[in-house]
A and B are shown apart, each in its own frame.
Chain A
């Protein structure tokens, strides 16, 4: 897709996110909206996949380590045709394949179940290791939150990916600077993020996470890099695209009511 088309696609995905959360009555809009542009570029321009054959062995893999941002993943999958768009409105309802946090046993297109923070990067590293053993050119992408970097397991995984020089692995940090209880630096400072990844042997790329040109360039650089995993540290705005949600931690895990859903959708027209 050209950048103009990606922008349109991202807008649709933001609308999907608001609609599904409005219908669900609970869920996490903030981090889904901050990651939308990163996810749109990845799913519509980068990942090699076959939505009609979700288990196609040659597919690139995506792991949503920050599993609470399931809405943005579900919207991407639905927009690509993994399942019908109408199904998005079943989010978090009994019997739905769209669980509150992604469940691979319920939905094709989800590689592994996540939701407990800090676990996804290890799984992504394991897949990258397996792909190397198979001498396959499969690439692995993992989206983590910045608050999530407080989990110790993230750094265990980062250490091992650097150790095994997994250049087929790309970790995207959605650096929206907020977590449930406030600013990252006030709750528990994880900065400097770049230096930490560097110290573990990663290539790091810092970008504006809502600038498609920078996003696409970063993915291209990651794909070309040899002998090192890549961390893309993307500065984003939590709740991006909805004025009353932007940069407000209270929209981490709260769904908009009917009125605010309508207002948000109007802004996203």
Chain B
């Protein structure tokens, strides 16, 4: 299967929009090669601003630019955008409901050898609690591109979680992307795996493994963590009566928590969570870390079996 990093979907969308929309401006904080925003800089240098290693100012400048009618995309690593500059995101951008878009690259454990300091595993928790903010977690290149295009079309702040590593291309340019709508990737009636980002590919793999054991798993891709598609989640709970969530993030506060909130409120069913289990990351090869932290297809299979046992 073809693999491509989501960060490149982001920059491809920026370049496409930059050609037709003069209001698109891009900022970075000395990571333009890593985030791939330098590809925009090469085409439109007059609309690119490198603010240096100063993430709080990065979001502040983006806020100011949005107040002059620009559509700023602020790029940096996800941990800095959501963590270091969290209060700027909260008070300057979200409280003011400004039209600022944030591309947080190098999210998740797949950031690899750089280790725990750079592996953002907390952004879902940090961003989804902010009023006015839309949070996208694209699963592949095309989804990242579409999420970026959609962000520019929307009014208000948007956070897009992107990754460094190439991940399987699961969708096509034609696959629809609608904010707040989950995407059914595979039909199934026995158990539902609800995943986002890189874990969508692992979940589809898991579904294939389960199929060999005659277990039909439904796979739902939540590319829009906020607003969350409650309907598709409640329907899955009602129809399959067992749920596994899977994310490249801490199990506390992320997709698993968000799905649990919906399920418990509306249609309680057994639920298991795949994610990093309340620990920091560590250095290692990306794939190796996925195994080390039990984020692989086989881990999802085990969780599915566990939840099926609980379902009775």
User: Interface of A with B (CB < 8 Å)?
Assistant: 61, 103-105, 111-116, 118-119, 121-131, 133-134, 138, 152-153, 156-157, 159-160
Contacts and interface: CB of A to CB of B under 8 A. Distances in A.
Contacts of A130: 64-65, 67-70
29 contacts: A105-B96, A112-B63, A112-B67, A114-B91, A116-B91, A119-B60, A119-B88, A119-B92, A121-B60, A122-B64, A123-B61, A125-B60, A125-B64, A126-B67, A126-B68, A126-B72, A127-B68, A130-B64, A130-B67, A131-B68, A133-B46, A133-B70, A134-B69, A156-B54, A156-B56, A156-B60, A159-B57, A160-B51, A160-B54
Q: What 8 pairs between A and B have smallest CB-CB spacing?
A: A126-B64, A122-B60, A130-B68, A156-B57, A126-B61, A156-B54, A127-B64, A153-B56
Contacts of B56: 118-119, 122, 152-153, 156
Interface residues of B, number: 30
A77 B72 CA distance: 29
Contacts of B91: 113-116, 119
Contacts of B60: 119, 121-123, 125-126, 153, 156-157
Contact of A122 (B25, B61, B69, B87): B61
A133 B61 CA distance: 13
B66 to A, nearest CB: 8
A57 to B, nearest CB: 8
B54 to A, nearest CB: 4
B7 to A, nearest CB: 24
A153 B57 contact: yes
B45 interface: no
Interface string B60-85: 11111111111010000000000000
Nearest to B94: A113
B97 interface: yes
A252 to B, nearest CB: 20
Contacts of B57: 122, 125, 153, 156-157, 159-160
Chain B CB within 10 Å, residue with most, of A103, A114, A131, A133: A133
B124 to A, nearest CB: 23
B92 A124 contact: no
B63 A123 contact: yes
B47 interface: yes
B80 to A, nearest CB: 13
A133 B92 contact: no
A60 to B, nearest CB: 12
Given A122-B57, A122-B61, A159-B52, A103 B95 contact: yes
A66 to B, nearest CB: 14
A118 B47 CA distance: 26
B68 A133 contact: yes
B72 to A, nearest CB: 8
A131 B47 CA distance: 13
B98 interface: yes
Given A133-B68, A133-B70, A160-B54, 9 more contacts: A61-B67, A119-B60, A119-B88, A122-B57, A122-B59, A123-B61, A125-B57, A130-B64, A131-B68
